[in-house]
Amino acid sequence: MVESFQIPFSIHEKVLSNGMHVTVVYRKGFKRMSAQLAFPFGSLHQRLQDRIGLEQEIPAGTAHFLEHQLFKQADGSSISDAFAVLGAYDNAFTNFDHTVYMADCSDNQAEVLQLLLDYTDQPFFEKESVENEKEIIVQELMMYKDQPEESLEINLRQGLYGQHPAGEDIGGTEETVRKVTPELLYACYDAYYKPTLARLVVVADLPAEEVFALAESWGSYKRAGFSPLWPASSTSPGAESEFSIVARAARPLIGLGFGDYRKTPQSGPALLRRQLEMDILVDLLFGRSSAFYWQLMEEQLFGSSFHSDYHATPYFGAIILGADSLDPVQLKNKILTYLNTPDLELIIEPEAVARLKRKTLGELLSAFENSEELAINLVTAGLYGYRFTDIPQQLQEITETDLLNRFRELLVGRTPVVSYVYPNQEIETNDVDYEEISE
């Protein structure tokens, strides 16, 4: 069945004379602007080249550190104050392969956009401030370390990607964070925050030409000739395929991963196509409308949730299943037995596939509702080299045979990486030591 889809807003794209890629979504009558400026620098980038061609190592977590530091102004203030004065909200995040700076506002849209462009163009990294930031980031890492779900995921990624940096924490470790210096940050900024690598997405009731004009002058920072080096793809799993740790968790947790390895980084429409195929396949097999999900529910093999997902970047990808379970080993066995069921391929049938394609189309439309979410999607699509609006066409072309091929390629006869977290104490909630002092 062919489903039609009408893109709700007009989308304007341009490569400016400074090399920056800009996308403007013209949302007429909508009073709020969402702007995002992204650079392809994330935790996977661990080497760069200096001006004479020598390779320099980048400690794990540097991209995230740079993101924190870019907020710092020469006068000691934070750029967030300047946004607040304009009535704007600003934020930023770093992931495996990019860093995004964002600003949202209703009033003063052009000024806010200008401010976003200005501060990202004026790095100021100073020793005392960098040293102070280390303490803050170490506390951030401790916060994640305190979450058993994070430890579960780190082990799972180590098993899936081995020595590849996808196996490491995006924020690095206390040890690597302490190695960061202002000089290193300037070198990374120089290499990866180039206008030709930058992507700006603005969703607003603003004429595209006005946005293009504002962004035209970005890139005034004087560069010293550092060049980026791009990560390799994850080609094989790590040495270990089973991890089990004891942590402060309320209930046992399990994560299972089936790696999707590639010889070279994959991007463009092929990456999008694979993501869409895998979303449907994973839903068919493990989603909330699958018979298997409800079988697990009836046998109470998971506690509060059983989730399944396929996630891919150009450099790595995997199907990830996860749950809290009082009997995680039994759950794992159940999943493996299920995947070996004769005739399981029959699950890939036209009616269910058509229903899930419909669902994907509806979700695509919903992604246009929230400007911030839309901007994130467009940033990712731009960096990964595909068009977000190609989804309906791509979706339409997916056949049952494609899904069958993905199933055989990624799941049949494969041994998953398994990560367990077991509670270090009895399952009881009131196990805290209690002591009350009254003044």
Shortest spacing between CB 373 and another protein, in angstroms: 10
Question: 31 or 311: whose CB is closer to another protein?
Answer: 31
Shortest spacing between CB 216 and another protein, in angstroms: 28
3-state secondary structure 160-217: HHCCCHHHCCCCCCHHHHCCCCHHHHHHHHHHHCCCCCCEEEEEECCCHHHHHHHHCC
Question: 229 or 250: whose CB is closer to another protein?
Answer: 250
Shortest spacing between CB 138 and another protein, in angstroms: 8
Shortest spacing between CB 22 and another protein, in angstroms: 23
Shortest spacing between CB 437 and another protein, in angstroms: 5
Shortest spacing between CB 438 and another protein, in angstroms: 6
Q: What is the spatial distance between Cα 105 and Cα 118, in angstroms, rounded to a whole number? A: 17
The answer to whether residues 13 and 188 touch, using CB atoms and an 8 Å cutoff, is no
Question: Rounded to the nearest 10 degrees, what angle do helices 291-298 and 269-286 cross at?
Answer: 40
Q: What is the spatial distance between Cα 141 and Cα 154, in angstroms, rounded to a whole number? A: 13
Question: 230 or 294: whose CB is closer to another protein?
Answer: 294
Question: 30 or 221: whose CB is closer to another protein?
Answer: 30
92 forms beta bridges with 101
Question: 132 or 264: whose CB is closer to another protein?
Answer: 132
Query: DSSP secondary-structure letter at 192?
Result: H
Residues comprising the chain, all counted: 439
Shortest spacing between CB 378 and another protein, in angstroms: 15
Both structure tokens of 40 = 């392809």
Place of tokens 């990808």: 317
Place of tokens 């399952």: 427
Question: 49 or 244: whose CB is closer to another protein?
Answer: 244
Question: 73 or 217: whose CB is closer to another protein?
Answer: 73
Output the CA–CA distances (angstroms, integers) from residue 94 to 170, 275, 320, in the order listed: 8, 21, 21
Query: DSSP secondary-structure letter at 260?
Result: -
H-helix segments, 60-207: 62-70, 79-85, 109-120, 127-145, 148-161, 174-177, 182-192
